[in-house]
Amino acid sequence: MATALPMADSTAAGARRSIGVAQRYYRRFTPLERIMHVALMLTFVGCALTGLPLLYSNQAWATTLSHLLGGFETAGVVHRLCAFVMIVVFVSHVVLVFGKAIARRNVLAILWGPDSLVPQPQDGIDIWRNLKWFVGRGPRPQFDRWTYWEKFDYWAVFWGMFIIGGSGLLLWFPVFFAKLLPGWMFNIASLVHGEEALLAVGLEHELKTERRFEYERLTRESRLAAKEAAPPTHESTLFGWVVGGTALSLGIVAIVLIVYSAF
Protein backbone atom coordinates (compact mmCIF):
# COMPACT_ATOMS: atom_id res chain seq x y z
CA MET A 1 0.00 0.00 0.00
CA ALA A 2 2.83 2.39 0.81
CA THR A 3 4.19 4.14 -2.21
CA ALA A 4 7.73 3.78 -1.01
CA LEU A 5 8.74 0.90 1.13
CA PRO A 6 11.48 1.12 3.73
CA MET A 7 12.84 -2.21 2.77
CA ALA A 8 15.83 -3.14 4.78
CA ASP A 9 14.86 -1.87 8.19
CA SER A 10 11.32 -3.08 8.28
CA THR A 11 12.16 -6.07 10.43
CA ALA A 12 14.32 -6.99 13.34
CA ALA A 13 16.18 -9.38 11.12
CA GLY A 14 16.88 -6.61 8.69
CA ALA A 15 18.24 -4.41 11.42
CA ARG A 16 20.42 -7.18 12.72
CA ARG A 17 22.07 -7.65 9.39
CA SER A 18 23.15 -4.00 9.50
CA ILE A 19 23.89 -3.84 5.85
CA GLY A 20 24.10 -0.10 5.94
CA VAL A 21 21.06 0.73 3.91
CA ALA A 22 18.71 1.17 6.82
CA GLN A 23 17.69 4.70 5.85
CA ARG A 24 17.49 4.19 2.11
CA TYR A 25 14.22 3.97 0.28
CA TYR A 26 13.48 2.07 -2.90
CA ARG A 27 10.72 2.69 -5.35
CA ARG A 28 8.86 -0.54 -5.99
CA PHE A 29 6.15 0.83 -8.23
CA THR A 30 6.10 3.33 -11.07
CA PRO A 31 3.89 6.46 -10.78
CA LEU A 32 1.28 4.95 -13.09
CA GLU A 33 1.24 1.76 -11.05
CA ARG A 34 0.75 3.81 -7.92
CA ILE A 35 -2.14 5.78 -9.42
CA MET A 36 -3.74 2.55 -10.51
CA HIS A 37 -3.19 1.08 -7.09
CA VAL A 38 -4.88 4.04 -5.39
CA ALA A 39 -7.76 3.92 -7.90
CA LEU A 40 -8.18 0.22 -7.27
CA MET A 41 -8.12 0.75 -3.52
CA LEU A 42 -10.66 3.57 -3.60
CA THR A 43 -13.03 1.83 -5.99
CA PHE A 44 -12.72 -1.39 -4.01
CA VAL A 45 -13.71 0.37 -0.80
CA GLY A 46 -16.45 2.22 -2.73
CA CYS A 47 -17.92 -1.00 -4.08
CA ALA A 48 -17.64 -2.78 -0.75
CA LEU A 49 -19.33 -0.02 1.24
CA THR A 50 -22.17 0.48 -1.23
CA GLY A 51 -22.66 -3.26 -1.69
CA LEU A 52 -22.54 -4.42 1.92
CA PRO A 53 -25.93 -2.95 2.90
CA LEU A 54 -27.60 -5.13 0.27
CA LEU A 55 -25.74 -8.25 1.30
CA TYR A 56 -26.70 -7.63 4.94
CA SER A 57 -30.06 -6.01 4.31
CA ASN A 58 -31.56 -7.87 7.28
CA GLN A 59 -29.29 -6.00 9.69
CA ALA A 60 -30.23 -2.70 11.29
CA TRP A 61 -26.81 -1.21 10.51
CA ALA A 62 -27.36 -1.93 6.82
CA THR A 63 -30.41 0.34 6.72
CA THR A 64 -28.46 3.07 8.52
CA LEU A 65 -25.47 2.71 6.22
CA SER A 66 -27.69 2.69 3.16
CA HIS A 67 -29.34 5.95 4.20
CA LEU A 68 -25.96 7.40 5.13
CA LEU A 69 -24.76 6.70 1.59
CA GLY A 70 -27.67 8.67 0.18
CA GLY A 71 -30.15 5.87 -0.29
CA PHE A 72 -30.16 2.73 -2.33
CA GLU A 73 -30.34 4.53 -5.66
CA THR A 74 -27.35 6.80 -4.97
CA ALA A 75 -25.43 3.86 -3.58
CA GLY A 76 -26.28 1.98 -6.75
CA VAL A 77 -24.84 4.74 -8.91
CA VAL A 78 -21.65 4.94 -6.79
CA HIS A 79 -21.34 1.15 -6.89
CA ARG A 80 -21.56 1.04 -10.68
CA LEU A 81 -19.22 3.99 -11.08
CA CYS A 82 -16.59 2.37 -8.85
CA ALA A 83 -17.08 -0.92 -10.65
CA PHE A 84 -16.56 0.76 -14.00
CA VAL A 85 -13.32 2.43 -12.88
CA MET A 86 -12.15 -0.83 -11.36
CA ILE A 87 -12.75 -2.72 -14.59
CA VAL A 88 -10.86 -0.02 -16.51
CA VAL A 89 -7.92 -0.29 -14.07
CA PHE A 90 -7.98 -4.06 -14.32
CA VAL A 91 -8.01 -4.12 -18.11
CA SER A 92 -5.27 -1.45 -18.19
CA HIS A 93 -3.22 -3.56 -15.83
CA VAL A 94 -3.41 -6.62 -18.03
CA VAL A 95 -2.66 -4.55 -21.15
CA LEU A 96 0.26 -2.83 -19.41
CA VAL A 97 1.82 -6.03 -18.13
CA PHE A 98 1.73 -7.65 -21.52
CA GLY A 99 2.56 -4.43 -23.37
CA LYS A 100 5.65 -3.90 -21.26
CA ALA A 101 6.69 -7.48 -21.62
CA ILE A 102 6.28 -7.39 -25.38
CA ALA A 103 8.22 -4.13 -25.59
CA ARG A 104 11.06 -5.67 -23.55
CA ARG A 105 10.70 -8.91 -25.45
CA ASN A 106 10.53 -10.89 -22.25
CA VAL A 107 6.97 -12.15 -22.26
CA LEU A 108 8.29 -15.36 -20.78
CA ALA A 109 9.53 -13.52 -17.69
CA ILE A 110 6.03 -12.54 -16.66
CA LEU A 111 4.93 -16.12 -17.15
CA TRP A 112 7.85 -17.80 -15.40
CA GLY A 113 10.71 -16.92 -13.12
CA PRO A 114 11.22 -14.86 -9.97
CA ASP A 115 9.49 -11.77 -11.39
CA SER A 116 6.47 -13.75 -12.50
CA LEU A 117 3.31 -13.94 -10.44
CA VAL A 118 2.52 -17.35 -11.87
CA PRO A 119 2.70 -20.00 -9.12
CA GLN A 120 5.72 -22.25 -9.54
CA PRO A 121 7.56 -25.03 -7.69
CA GLN A 122 9.43 -22.50 -5.58
CA ASP A 123 6.10 -21.44 -4.03
CA GLY A 124 5.46 -24.99 -2.89
CA ILE A 125 8.89 -25.02 -1.26
CA ASP A 126 8.20 -21.61 0.28
CA ILE A 127 4.89 -22.77 1.78
CA TRP A 128 6.54 -25.86 3.19
CA ARG A 129 9.40 -23.85 4.69
CA ASN A 130 7.10 -21.23 6.12
CA LEU A 131 4.90 -23.87 7.71
CA LYS A 132 8.01 -25.48 9.18
CA TRP A 133 9.00 -22.12 10.61
CA PHE A 134 5.50 -21.68 12.04
CA VAL A 135 5.86 -24.85 14.06
CA GLY A 136 9.42 -24.08 15.03
CA ARG A 137 11.06 -26.72 12.88
CA GLY A 138 13.05 -24.54 10.60
CA PRO A 139 14.54 -21.10 10.06
CA ARG A 140 12.44 -18.22 8.96
CA PRO A 141 12.33 -18.53 5.15
CA GLN A 142 13.28 -15.66 2.86
CA PHE A 143 11.31 -14.84 -0.23
CA ASP A 144 11.97 -13.47 -3.68
CA ARG A 145 9.98 -10.71 -5.33
CA TRP A 146 6.59 -12.30 -4.72
CA THR A 147 5.72 -14.38 -1.71
CA TYR A 148 3.20 -17.15 -2.19
CA TRP A 149 0.51 -15.26 -0.25
CA GLU A 150 1.07 -12.20 -2.37
CA LYS A 151 0.61 -14.37 -5.40
CA PHE A 152 -2.51 -15.83 -3.86
CA ASP A 153 -3.76 -12.35 -3.18
CA TYR A 154 -3.01 -11.29 -6.71
CA TRP A 155 -4.82 -14.24 -8.26
CA ALA A 156 -7.65 -13.90 -5.80
CA VAL A 157 -8.15 -10.39 -7.11
CA PHE A 158 -7.73 -11.62 -10.68
CA TRP A 159 -10.27 -14.39 -10.23
CA GLY A 160 -12.43 -12.02 -8.23
CA MET A 161 -12.36 -9.46 -11.01
CA PHE A 162 -13.64 -12.05 -13.43
CA ILE A 163 -16.28 -13.47 -11.14
CA ILE A 164 -17.44 -10.27 -9.47
CA GLY A 165 -16.99 -8.15 -12.57
CA GLY A 166 -18.67 -10.69 -14.82
CA SER A 167 -21.60 -11.37 -12.53
CA GLY A 168 -21.89 -7.65 -11.84
CA LEU A 169 -22.25 -6.88 -15.52
CA LEU A 170 -24.88 -9.59 -15.80
CA LEU A 171 -26.85 -8.02 -12.98
CA TRP A 172 -26.30 -4.53 -14.34
CA PHE A 173 -27.74 -5.37 -17.78
CA PRO A 174 -30.02 -8.33 -17.13
CA VAL A 175 -32.34 -7.73 -20.06
CA PHE A 176 -29.43 -7.70 -22.51
CA PHE A 177 -27.62 -10.70 -21.07
CA ALA A 178 -30.84 -12.69 -20.76
CA LYS A 179 -30.95 -12.68 -24.54
CA LEU A 180 -27.85 -14.89 -24.41
CA LEU A 181 -28.06 -16.67 -21.07
CA PRO A 182 -30.69 -18.73 -19.22
CA GLY A 183 -32.47 -17.29 -16.20
CA TRP A 184 -30.70 -19.45 -13.64
CA MET A 185 -27.41 -17.77 -14.57
CA PHE A 186 -28.78 -14.66 -12.89
CA ASN A 187 -29.55 -16.61 -9.75
CA ILE A 188 -25.95 -17.77 -9.69
CA ALA A 189 -24.66 -14.33 -10.62
CA SER A 190 -26.34 -12.68 -7.66
CA LEU A 191 -25.10 -15.44 -5.38
CA VAL A 192 -21.44 -15.37 -6.42
CA HIS A 193 -21.37 -11.59 -6.74
CA GLY A 194 -22.11 -11.29 -3.04
CA GLU A 195 -20.06 -14.20 -1.76
CA GLU A 196 -16.98 -13.45 -3.85
CA ALA A 197 -17.20 -9.90 -2.57
CA LEU A 198 -17.18 -11.24 0.98
CA LEU A 199 -14.11 -13.25 0.15
CA ALA A 200 -12.44 -10.20 -1.33
CA VAL A 201 -13.27 -7.97 1.63
CA GLY A 202 -12.10 -10.65 4.00
CA LEU A 203 -8.78 -11.11 2.23
CA GLU A 204 -8.25 -7.45 1.56
CA HIS A 205 -6.04 -6.91 4.56
CA GLU A 206 -3.49 -9.62 4.50
CA LEU A 207 0.20 -9.42 4.34
CA LYS A 208 3.23 -7.94 5.94
CA THR A 209 6.44 -8.84 4.33
CA GLU A 210 9.93 -10.12 4.18
CA ARG A 211 11.41 -9.57 0.83
CA ARG A 212 15.08 -10.07 1.33
CA PHE A 213 15.57 -12.24 -1.73
CA GLU A 214 14.42 -9.55 -4.07
CA TYR A 215 16.77 -7.12 -2.40
CA GLU A 216 19.67 -9.50 -2.73
CA ARG A 217 18.87 -10.39 -6.28
CA LEU A 218 18.61 -6.75 -7.25
CA THR A 219 21.90 -5.99 -5.52
CA ARG A 220 23.50 -8.85 -7.35
CA GLU A 221 22.22 -7.58 -10.62
CA SER A 222 23.30 -4.02 -9.76
CA ARG A 223 19.84 -2.77 -10.53
CA LEU A 224 19.17 -1.46 -7.07
CA ALA A 225 20.67 1.94 -7.67
CA ALA A 226 18.15 2.57 -10.40
CA LYS A 227 15.37 2.04 -7.92
CA GLU A 228 16.80 4.17 -5.16
CA ALA A 229 14.67 7.11 -4.30
CA ALA A 230 14.66 10.13 -2.07
CA PRO A 231 13.10 9.43 1.31
CA PRO A 232 9.42 10.29 1.30
CA THR A 233 8.72 13.83 2.42
CA HIS A 234 6.88 14.43 5.64
CA GLU A 235 3.78 15.48 3.71
CA SER A 236 3.73 12.48 1.44
CA THR A 237 4.19 10.13 4.39
CA LEU A 238 1.31 11.83 6.13
CA PHE A 239 -0.76 11.63 2.97
CA GLY A 240 0.02 7.96 2.69
CA TRP A 241 -1.02 7.44 6.27
CA VAL A 242 -4.27 9.35 5.86
CA VAL A 243 -5.31 7.65 2.62
CA GLY A 244 -4.08 4.24 3.66
CA GLY A 245 -5.47 4.66 7.15
CA THR A 246 -8.89 5.70 5.88
CA ALA A 247 -9.07 2.79 3.49
CA LEU A 248 -7.85 0.43 6.17
CA SER A 249 -10.36 1.77 8.71
CA LEU A 250 -13.23 1.46 6.25
CA GLY A 251 -12.08 -2.06 5.49
CA ILE A 252 -11.89 -2.89 9.18
CA VAL A 253 -15.36 -1.40 9.71
CA ALA A 254 -16.63 -3.60 6.88
CA ILE A 255 -15.04 -6.70 8.39
CA VAL A 256 -16.33 -5.88 11.87
CA LEU A 257 -19.84 -5.52 10.44
CA ILE A 258 -19.53 -8.82 8.57
CA VAL A 259 -18.28 -10.66 11.62
CA TYR A 260 -20.93 -8.99 13.80
CA SER A 261 -23.64 -10.13 11.39
CA ALA A 262 -22.40 -13.69 11.45
CA PHE A 263 -23.59 -14.04 15.05
Partner 1 sequence: MRSGGEKNRAGPSAPAKHPKPHGIRMTTATMLRTFCALVCIGLAVSAHAKPAATPAAAPNVNETCLACHAAADAKGTAGKSIAVDGPKFTTSVHGEFNLKCTDCHTDVAADKIPHAETLKPVNCANCHDAAVKEYSTTVHGIARKGGNNVAATCTDCHGTHDILRSKSAESRTNHVNLEATCVRCHGDKITIAKGKLPGGDIGSEFHDSIHGKALRSAAKMSAPECTDCHGAHNMLPKSDPRSKVARANIPDTCGSCHQPEFKAYTNGMHGKMRQQGVLAAPGCTDCHSAHAIQQHEAAAFQTGAINECGTCHHESLSTYRDTFHGQVTALGYARTATCASCHGAHDVLPPTNPASKVSKQNRLATCQQCHAGASANFASFDPHASRHERERNPAYWYAAKFMEYLLIGVFAFFGIHTAFWLYRSLRVKFGGGDRKEP
Q: Which residues bind partner 1 (CB under 8 A)?
A: 12-13, 53-55, 57-58, 62-63, 66, 71-73, 131, 133-136, 138-140, 149, 156, 171, 174-175, 178-184, 186-188, 190-192, 195-196, 198-199, 202-203, 206
Q: How far is the CB of 176 from partner 1 (least distance, A)?
A: 9
Q: How far is the CB of 232 from partner 1 (least distance, A)?
A: 25
Q: How far is the CB of 239 from partner 1 (least distance, A)?
A: 28
Is residue 35 classed as helix, strand or coil in its secondary structure?
helix
Q: Nearer to partner 1 by C-beta: 206 or 228?
A: 206
CB 53 within 8 A of CB 69: yes
Q: Nearer to partner 1 by C-beta: 8 or 89?
A: 8
Q: Nearer to partner 1 by C-beta: 116 or 190?
A: 190
* Range 119-125 contact pairs with CB under 8 angstroms and sequence separation of 24 or more: 119/148, 119/151, 119/155, 123/148, 123/151
Q: How far is the CB of 96 from partner 1 (least distance, A)?
A: 28
Q: Nearer to partner 1 by C-beta: 3 or 147?
A: 147
Q: How far is the CB of 119 from partner 1 (least distance, A)?
A: 15
* Range 42-47 contact pairs with CB under 8 angstroms and sequence separation of 24 or more: 42/82, 42/247, 43/82, 43/83, 43/85, 43/86, 43/89, 44/82, 44/86, 44/200, 44/204, 45/247, 45/250, 45/251, 46/78, 46/79, 46/81, 46/82, 47/79, 47/82, 47/83, 47/86, 47/197
Distance in angstroms between the alpha carbons of the first and the last residue of the chain: 31
Q: Nearer to partner 1 by C-beta: 112 or 133?
A: 133
